[in-house]
Amino acid sequence: MKILVTGGAGYIGSHTCVELLNEGHEVTIVDNLCNSNMEAVNRIEEITGKEVAFYKVDIRDREKMGQIFNENDVDAVIHFAGLKAVGESCEIPLEYYINNISGTLVMLDIMKEHGVKKIVFSSSATVYGCPETVPVKEDFPLSVTNPYGRTKLMLEEILQDVYKSDNEWNVILLRYFNPIGAHQSGRIGEDPNGIPNNLLPYITKVAIGELPQLNVFGDDYPTEDGTCIRDYIHVVDLARGHVKAIENMKNGGVEIYNLGTGKGYSVLEVIKNFEEASGKKVPYKIADRRQGDVAVIYGDPSKAKKELGWEAQYGIKEMCRDSWNWQKNNPNGYKK
């Protein structure tokens, strides 16, 4: 199939492009590079030995997006483009709403104009809020507490409305748990700007000596070791989930899938696994809880297994090994 990948130069998008190309699909990337680097696109081509069409375009630019759809015979869209930092979304909510919501609206309108009615959307486990029980299933109640999360929930609802108005649309909402790791080649990976907010990029920067120590946000949660539990998933597994989603689209409908491993690890367990996988010590101190953190969340991925034939292959050791391999080989990320 010919797939348009928005945000394809980013962390999850770049890994997904590699898996799509490996499976014989054609890929066109649209990315304004606001949180990524052209070098990621070069490396997608290097890893796969295949070419991708790349457009440095903002998805809110209706005219240029129209041209891209005119020039490319698009069968389906995988939509990653968006801003994703929870803390930042509370500081600059309008930019999040304008980028994530308006960008998606422009894109959907152009898809409609061109009769392209297949879309896979990057949602997040953040839409489950603070779940009453775990593992969470796709039909659990939804709630969000910050503008970033609200953009995800609003877009899920907008996409459902689009389907209700025209049953020829195929919409797949993928709710990701915590993607970490990197491609085994060590050529593409997560390259956050500035000091990372997320756990694994922070750990790798401590391990390489760029940051002095990790702050573990709280050790008084109701878990075995007192630290929060999350469902970490290897980014290559996550990428393969998108390929399965695209290849298993039915004739019209909205489907929702959790993409996680179904296993939870505490912050201290992640540190221990990372130390074992990398042979590096990760100095840490216990700090205050971070506002908005949920004690325990992990998903039930059995619907994706049953309906898409997808299941995560990699465990926490491989995730830590590949995060470290990427960091060690690219101490400055994609910057020379």
- Options 60-68, 195-203, 275-283, 328-336: segment touching ligand UD1 (CB under 6 A): 195-203
**If DSSP states are collapsed to H, E and C, what string results for 3-56?**
EEEECCCCHHHHHHHHHHHHCCCEEEEECCCCCCCHHHHHHHHHHHCCCCEEEC
257 in catalytic set: no
Least Å distance, CB 178 to ligand UD1, is: 5
Least Å distance, CB 279 to ligand NAD, is: 26
2-6/118-124 β-pairing: unpaired
271 is a contact residue toward ligand UD1 (CB under 6 A): no
Residue 135: cis peptide before it, omega within 30 degrees of 0: yes
Residue ranges binding ligand NAD (CB under 6 A): 7, 9-13, 30-36, 58-60, 80-84, 99, 103, 122, 124, 176, 178-179
230 is a contact residue toward ligand UD1 (CB under 6 A): yes
In the complex with ligand UD1, the residue whose CB is nearer, 54 or 128, is 128
Bridge partners, 255 (sequence order): 172
- Options 91-99, 256-264, 290-298, 301-309: segment touching ligand UD1 (CB under 6 A): 290-298
Contact 188, 14 (CB under 8 A): yes
Q: Which residue has its beta carbon closest to ligand UD1?
A: 228
Binder to ligand UD1 among 141, 253, 283, 292 (CB under 6 A)?
292
Residue bearing tokens 């991708």: 52
In the complex with ligand NAD, the residue whose CB is nearer, 258 or 273, is 258
Q: Which residue type is seen at 275?
A: E
84 is a contact residue toward ligand UD1 (CB under 6 A): yes
Reported as type and span, the H/E element at residue 285 is strand 284-287
199 is a contact residue toward ligand UD1 (CB under 6 A): yes
Chain positions 21 to 50 lying near ligand UD1, rule: CB under 6 A, are none
Q: Which member of 11, 55, 96, 148 is catalytic? A: 148
197 is a contact residue toward ligand UD1 (CB under 6 A): yes
Q: Outline where the chain has alpha helix (H).
A: 11-22, 38-48, 62-71, 86-91, 93-96, 103-113, 147-165, 199-207, 235-247, 267-278, 302-308, 316-329
Write the Ramachandran bin of 252: left for phi over 0, alpha for psi from -120 to 50, otherwise beta: left
Residues designated as active site: 148
Residues in contact with ligand UD1 by the rule CB under 6 A: 84, 86, 124, 126, 149, 178, 197-199, 202, 214-217, 228, 230, 267, 290, 292-293
